[in-house]
Amino acid sequence: MELQYHEDAGHEIIDFATSDTAIFSTGKDSSLRVFDCETGMMLIEPMADMECDALSVQGYHIIARCGGGQAMFIFKYMDGSEELEEEDFIECDDAFAELIEDPTGNNRNFFMKGGLSIK
């Protein structure tokens, strides 16, 4: 496989997800970033202070787990959009957060009814 392009993500990536047209990444700087799949160029300004630690994509929707499972953001991104549109915010109570954390301090997978999972 030949390297087609190389673009600096601008942060140390801890998780990423892809759609047909975009690459979504979150990093240790707590930001959420969107890049074009073909050129690698950043498509929108970084969303700072999101505290996302895991991402998943389903069609036009991006699901971001934030705060180690304390909340879930659901965003919509259409090709050519200038920003991520917030569709929903799900605040998870402490009992839910305890379910996704194992004794070693590592987070386990979170599975949604439609088959989508957040790792």
Model pLDDT for residues 58-86, shown as the tens digit of each residue: 889 999 988 877 888 999 999 888 889 99
- Residue with tokens 């787990």, as numbered in its chain: 65
The domains of the chain, with CATH numbers, are 13-118 (2.40.10.480)
The pLDDT of residue 113: 55
Given phi > 0 = left and psi -120 to 50 = alpha, else beta, which region is 105? left
C-alpha to C-alpha distances, 71 to 5, 25, 32, 80, 88, nearest whole angstrom: 35, 18, 15, 27, 11
pTM score of the predicted model? 0.71
CB atoms inside a 10 Å sphere around CB 63? 23
Look over the chain and give the mean of its residue pLDDT values, rounded to a whole number: 78
